[in-house]
């Protein structure tokens, strides 16, 4: 076993060995925060003799939880790695033990986006709504907003109301948003489904309601450690506070320059004010960077220095010199994609494996042109996103079969009862839905009770029931991987794919089997089917399977906390990165931090690219201000942008900067100033109402003065 303190600098050692009380590490990107955190876990276990089951280690994504588990396993040699999880994942553990406090079964379902969509589908059909009323993605956002901001006590309805009362509330709703919201709560309760927000709310509620349960968890978690603390939100903070309330050993690490989730409710103040919120806080600072070359660090320091609201700190390089940071200007998006492909080929020819190369971007839609060129040039790649692996049809189907065996829930039933075809089409499904609604039972139970009726003549209802029943009786005694292989075979699902010649889908199923197998071997006793299903549900929204020697493509948000030898950061253009939705100064500074996060992922090589062209509204596309922020001496241009373009870009940026409001509540104009509105034309400010966050404007062409929100962009007339 390796010496746990080996390969750590003094500050890291101090972080690892300061085990008691409240400890905060504030440190820059790549300074070894995550390394210190995992070593500290191993130190607690190996040196202090703490049982892993008494340690909670919180990561930001499932992907980083998996990596951390692996790292800690290598350090301790222990198969039991305790609670290494995201906040949501940890809440699943709490609920699996204690959901009885809220009268939910242990077999509750964790819902991902596609489950939510399936529920929305039912609601829309029942109430005659269409996507014109609201798209699913807007409906999901609306639900999340309502749950977090408008109706934070919504969960009491789910817990205390009977299913009938909840249904009543839904049926009585008349406003579209109410219909969707209560319809969703009803659907959730009906299958004992919980979304991410519920997981935390329910856990907090359980701790509040039942002191003995709270104490049990508080006593169990002797040490708590949290990575990426700069992006913690209010609910997570509350949960953390409860959990550390007994032993009071809390270790947090974060970097204020990497706060990139304030749009989702994260607040960096929790990190900065940690010493005021807890007693005798020890703060450790780490500035040395072990990840990137001095060239990369010089560029990123120069970039982040442009943020006004920040505590100044520079990353100090520890690695030897590397190549320059390369900046490429392309004339079109296609040319940009070709240049990236060319560079990747050159790297590959010099012996760099594809998997050491990562393409990062601000938003998913950027990938289309890059993908097209990669396909043409035969560069293998994989995209990390929700619909990558776990969102695929065959994977969802296979998991629905597993869920059907364990829970017999309606969502899974609807998904697979007629896949492959069993003659259980729309008409018969409607019959089951009516029966289930009248008799208050699940769809599967409805089928069981009515299978001998006329309507099911000539269907394979009976075969389907005996298939599910026989698996339901045996699955608990078998490894999950065996159950999965057997059900895919005996249900006829794989045969269906074979007859359709869907080799790629069959390959994906093989991949799934492999990942189940790996899950089983890494989890030991905990690897029941129920645990597995909860685990993959958490996985499916944001992570993907990692396979083979391929170039990785992902958004900057997904890349958080990770590192890659070669990084291409593409589409660095105004309107893309920073995104065109950036209207306030705090939002612009968050975009700049996002660019900083992106560039600090690179170890050896960093390539920044941008392409000329037109925006959707026809305006010319300029290089990003984040490129211009960097001292030009620190960048090597492959080809200088056309003369005048940089000057034009600077004018454009300076112009837009003037209209970035401090935030939506701060006025940018004073009484008497002349302004220009995109629709109403020019006018003069009559009054500034800070309570309403609005100006009173007398427009030249409109007789009566109008109230205009601070949020909208007003220009200075030229
Ligand atoms: P981020 O802010 O991006 O999450 P981080 O602070 O968590 O970064 P790590 O990922 O822990 O940084 O470390 C960055 C890299 O530096 C890793 O490859 C890690 O193995 C290496 N590293 C960390 N500390 C040391 C050290 N003392 N000596 C040598 N290498 C180190
Ligand atoms: Mg880290």
pLDDT digits (tens, 9 = 90+) for 52-70: 999 999 999 888 888 888 8
Ligand 1, atom 13, lies closest to the CA of 32
Are the C-beta atoms of 446 and 455 separated by less than 8 Å?
Answer: no
Phi, psi of 325 (to 5 degrees): -75, 125
Which residue is catalytic, options 24, 33, 71, 415?
A: 33
Dihedral angle at the C-alpha atoms of 149, 150, 153, 159, nearest 10 degrees? -100
Distance, in Å, from the CA atom of 110 to the CA atom of 407, rounded to the nearest integer, reads 12
Ligand 1, atom 14, lies closest to the CA of 30
By DSSP bridging, strand 381-383 and strand 551-555 are parallel
Reduced to 3 states, what is the DSSP secondary structure of residue 366? helix
Helices 234-243 and 87-98 pack at an angle, to 10 degrees, of 60
Ligand 1, atom 24, lies closest to the CA of 32
Distance, in Å, from the CA atom of 62 to the CA atom of 255, rounded to the nearest integer, reads 20
Query: Which atom of ligand 1 is the closest one to the Cα of 289?
Result: 16
Distance, in Å, from the CA atom of 258 to the CA atom of 261, rounded to the nearest integer, reads 9
Ligand 1 center from residue 32 Cα (angstroms): 3
Are the C-beta atoms of 607 and 600 separated by less than 8 Å?
Answer: no
Indicate whether residue 33 lines ligand 1 (CB < 6 A): yes
Lowest mean pLDDT among 384-398, 475-489, 676-690: 384-398
The residues pairing with 329 across neighbouring beta strands, listed in sequence order, are 610
Reduced to 3 states, what is the DSSP secondary structure of residue 240? helix
Look at residue 392 and tell me whether its pLDDT is greater than 90. Answer: no
Q: State pLDDT tens for residues 630-660.
A: 999 999 999 888 878 999 999 999 888 877 7
Higher local confidence (pLDDT), 672 or 180: 180
Indicate whether residue 522 lines ligand 1 (CB < 6 A): no
User: What pLDDT sits at residue 36?
Assistant: 96
- The gap between the terminal CA atoms of the chain, to the nearest Å, is 71
Look at residue 543 and tell me whether its pLDDT is greater than 60. Answer: no
Annotated binding-site positions: 27-34
Which residue is catalytic, options 98, 188, 195, 228?
A: 228
Residue 33 designated active-site: yes
Quickly state the pLDDT bin for 547 (edges 50, 70, 90): low
For a mutational test of ligand 1's pocket, the pick from 14, 258, 284, 290, i.e. the residue with the most ligand atoms closer than 8 A to its C-beta, is 290
Are the C-beta atoms of 87 and 239 separated by less than 8 Å?
Answer: yes
User: What pLDDT sits at residue 666?
Assistant: 67
- Residue 600 CA: which ligand is closest? 1
Ligand 1, atom 8, lies closest to the CA of 30
Helices 196-209 and 87-98 pack at an angle, to 10 degrees, of 50
Of 146, 250, 155, 143, which Cα lies nearest the Cα of 208?
155
User: What pLDDT sits at residue 456?
Assistant: 94
* Residue 607: both structure tokens together: 């390539």
Residue 601 designated active-site: yes
- Residue 38 CA: which ligand is closest? 1
User: What pLDDT sits at residue 542?
Assistant: 47
Distance, in Å, from the CA atom of 62 to the CA atom of 58, rounded to the nearest integer, reads 10
Lowest mean pLDDT among 220-224, 296-300, 535-539, 600-604: 535-539
Quickly state the pLDDT bin for 681 (edges 50, 70, 90): confident
Identify residues whose C-beta is under 5 A from ligand 2, the ion: 33-34, 561
Spatial CB neighbours of 31, under 8 Å, sequence gap ≥ 6: 286, 287, 288, 289, 290, 315
User: What pLDDT sits at residue 470?
Assistant: 95
With b meaning 16 or more CB within 10 Å and e meaning fewer, what string describes 486-522?
ebbeebbbbebbeeeebeebbebbeebbebbbebbee
Q: State pLDDT tens for residues 124-149.
A: 989 999 888 888 888 998 998 899 88
Residue 603 designated active-site: no
Residue 227 designated active-site: yes
Tokens 């010199």 sit at which residue? 321
Residue 377 designated active-site: no
Which residue is catalytic, options 12, 24, 34, 589?
A: 34
- HEC secondary structure over 161-189: CCHHHHHHHHHHCCCHHHHHHHHHHHHHH
Mean pLDDT of the chain: 90
Quickly state the pLDDT bin for 503 (edges 50, 70, 90): confident
Q: Which of the 8 DSSP states describes residue 551?
A: E
Reduced to 3 states, what is the DSSP secondary structure of residue 552? strand
Reported as half-sphere exposure (CB side, CA atoms, 13 A), residue 121 has a value of: 9
Tokens 């990107």 sit at which residue? 29
Indicate whether residue 231 lines ligand 1 (CB < 6 A): no
For a mutational test of ligand 1's pocket, the pick from 5, 15, 34, 595, i.e. the residue with the most ligand atoms closer than 8 A to its C-beta, is 34
Residue 258 designated active-site: yes
Residue positions counted in the chain: 718
Reduced to 3 states, what is the DSSP secondary structure of residue 50? coil
Which residue is catalytic, options 24, 189, 408, 601?
A: 601
Quickly state the pLDDT bin for 663 (edges 50, 70, 90): low
Query: Which atom of ligand 1 is the closest one to the Cα of 562?
Result: 3
- HEC secondary structure over 255-285: CHHHCCCHHHCECCHHHHCHHHHCCCCEEEE
Indicate whether residue 659 lines ligand 1 (CB < 6 A): no
Distance, in Å, from the CA atom of 589 to the CA atom of 103, rounded to the nearest integer, reads 45
User: What pLDDT sits at residue 295?
Assistant: 97
Query: Which atom of ligand 1 is the closest one to the Cα of 597?
Result: 3
Ligand 2 center from residue 627 Cα (angstroms): 25
For residue 578, whether the previous peptide bond is cis, meaning omega lies within 30 degrees of 0, is yes
Distance, in Å, from the CA atom of 225 to the CA atom of 285, rounded to the nearest integer, reads 17
* Residue 684: both structure tokens together: 């003069």
Strand ranges for 51-156 from DSSP E: 55-58, 83-85, 109-110
Are the C-beta atoms of 718 and 655 separated by less than 8 Å?
Answer: no
Of 184, 142, 145, 268, which Cα lies nearest the Cα of 593?
268
Ligand 2 center from residue 648 Cα (angstroms): 38
ipTM over 0.95? The verdict is yes
Quickly state the pLDDT bin for 540 (edges 50, 70, 90): low
User: What pLDDT sits at residue 518?
Assistant: 75
Of 406, 439, 512, 481, which Cα lies nearest the Cα of 109?
406
DSSP letters, 8-30, are: --HHHHHHHH--SSEEEEEE-TT
Indicate whether residue 12 lines ligand 1 (CB < 6 A): yes
User: What pLDDT sits at residue 312?
Assistant: 86
For residue 363, whether the previous peptide bond is cis, meaning omega lies within 30 degrees of 0, is no
Complete edge-to-edge strand list for the sheet that includes strand 694-699: 674-677, 681-689, 694-699, 706-709
- HEC secondary structure over 644-666: CHHHHHHHHHHHHHCCCECCCCC
- Longest Cα–Cα distance of the chain, Å, equals 81
H helix or E strand, kind and range, residue 190: helix 176-190
* Residue 78: both structure tokens together: 């222990």
* Residue 570: both structure tokens together: 């593409």
Q: State pLDDT tens for residues 156-207.
A: 999 999 999 999 999 999 999 999 999 999 999 988 999 999 999 999 999 9
* Residue 303: both structure tokens together: 């970039």
Average pLDDT value for residue range 436-464 = 94
Average pLDDT value for residue range 469-492 = 94
Percent pLDDT > 90 in the chain is 64
Helices 10-17 and 33-46 pack at an angle, to 10 degrees, of 40
Give the other-Cβ count within 10 Å of 238's Cβ.
14
Lowest mean pLDDT among 78-87, 235-244, 515-524: 515-524
């Amino acid at each position: 076993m390796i010496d746990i303190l080996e390969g750590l600098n003094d500050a890291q050692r101090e972080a690892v060995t300061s085990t008691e009380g409240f400890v905060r590490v504030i440190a820059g990107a790549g300074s070894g925060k995550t390394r210190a955190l995992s070593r500290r876990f191993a130190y607690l276990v190996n040196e202090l003799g703490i049982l892993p089951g008494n340690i909670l280690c919180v990561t930001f994504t499932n992907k980083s939880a998996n990596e951390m588990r692996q790292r800690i396993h290598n350090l301790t040699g222990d198969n039991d790695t305790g609670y290494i999880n995201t906040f949501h994942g940890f809440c699943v553990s709490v609920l699996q033990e204690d959901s009885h406090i809220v009268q939910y079964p242990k077999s509750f379902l964790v819902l991902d986006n596609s489950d939510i969509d399936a529920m929305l589908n039912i609601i829309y059909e029942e109430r005659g709504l269409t996507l014109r009323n609201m798209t699913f993605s807007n409906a999901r956002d609306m639900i999340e907003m309502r749950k977090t901001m408008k109706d934070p006590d919504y969960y009491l309805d789910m817990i205390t109301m009977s299913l009938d009362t909840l249904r009543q509330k839904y049926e009585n709703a008349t406003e579209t948003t109410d219909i969707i919201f209560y319809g969703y709560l009803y659907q959730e309760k009906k299958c004992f489904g919980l979304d991410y927000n519920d997981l935390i709310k329910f856990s907090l509620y359980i701790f509040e309601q039942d002191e003995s349960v709270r104490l049990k968890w508080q006593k169990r978690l002797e040490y708590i450690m949290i990575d990426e603390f700069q992006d913690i939100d209010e609910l997570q903070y509350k949960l953390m506070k409860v959990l550390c309330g007994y032993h009071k050993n809390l270790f947090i690490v974060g970097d204020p320059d990497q706060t990139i989730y304030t749009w989702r409710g994260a607040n960096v103040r929790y990190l900065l004010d940690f010493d005021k919120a807890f007693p005798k806080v020890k703060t450790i600072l780490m500035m040395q960077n072990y990840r990137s070359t001095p060239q990369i660090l010089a560029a990123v320091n120069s970039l982040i220095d442009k943020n006004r609201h920040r505590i100044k700190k520079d990353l100090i390089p520890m690695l030897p010199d590397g190549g320059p940071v390369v900046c490429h200007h392309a004339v079109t998006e296609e040319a940009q994609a070709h240049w990236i492909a060319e560079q990747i080929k050159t790297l590959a020819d010099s012996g760099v494996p594809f998997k050491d190369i990562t393409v990062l971007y601000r938003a998913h839609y950027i990938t289309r042109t890059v993908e097209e060129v990669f396909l043409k040039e035969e560069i293998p790649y994989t995209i990390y996103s929700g619909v990558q692996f776990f969102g695929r049809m065959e994977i969802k189907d296979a998991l629905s079969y597993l869920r059907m065996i364990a829970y017999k829930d309606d969502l899974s039933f609807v998904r697979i009862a007629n896949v492959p075809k069993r003659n259980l089409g729309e008409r018969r499904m409607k019959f089951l839905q009516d029966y289930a609604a009248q008799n208050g039972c699940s769809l599967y139970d409805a089928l069981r009770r009515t299978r001998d009726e006329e309507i099911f003549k000539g269907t394979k209802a009976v075969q389907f029931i005996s298939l599910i029943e026989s698996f339901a009786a045996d699955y608990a005694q078998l490894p999950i991987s065996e159950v999965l292989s057997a059900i895919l075979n005996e249900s006829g699902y794989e045969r269906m794919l074979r007859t359709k010649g869907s080799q790629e889908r069959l390959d994906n199923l093989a991949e799934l089997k492999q990942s189940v197998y790996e899950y089983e071997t890494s989890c030991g006793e905990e690897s029941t089917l129920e645990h597995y299903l909860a685990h993959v549900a958490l996985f499916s929204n944001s992570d993907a399977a990692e396979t083979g020697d391929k170039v990785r493509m992902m958004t900057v948000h997904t890349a958080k906390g990770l590192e890659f030898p070669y990084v291409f950061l593409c589409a660095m253009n105004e309107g893309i990165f920073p995104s065109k939705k950036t209207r306030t100064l705090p939002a612009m500074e968050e975009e700049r931090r996002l660019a900083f996060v992106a560039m600090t992922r690179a170890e050896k090589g960093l390539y920044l690219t941008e392409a000329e062209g037109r925006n959707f509204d026809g305006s010319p596309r300029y290089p990003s201000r984040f490129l211009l922020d960097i001292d030009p001496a620190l960048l090597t241009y492959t080809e200088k942008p056309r003369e005048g373009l940089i000057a034009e870009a600077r004018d454009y940026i300076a112009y837009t900067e003037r209209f970035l409001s401090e935030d939506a509540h701060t006025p940018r104009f004073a009484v008497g100033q002349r302004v220009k509105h995109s629709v109403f034309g020019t006018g003069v400010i009559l009054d500034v109402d800070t309570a309403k966050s609005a100006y009173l404007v007398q427009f030249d062409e409109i007789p009566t003065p109008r109230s205009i929100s601070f949020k909208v962009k007003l220009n200075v007339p030229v």
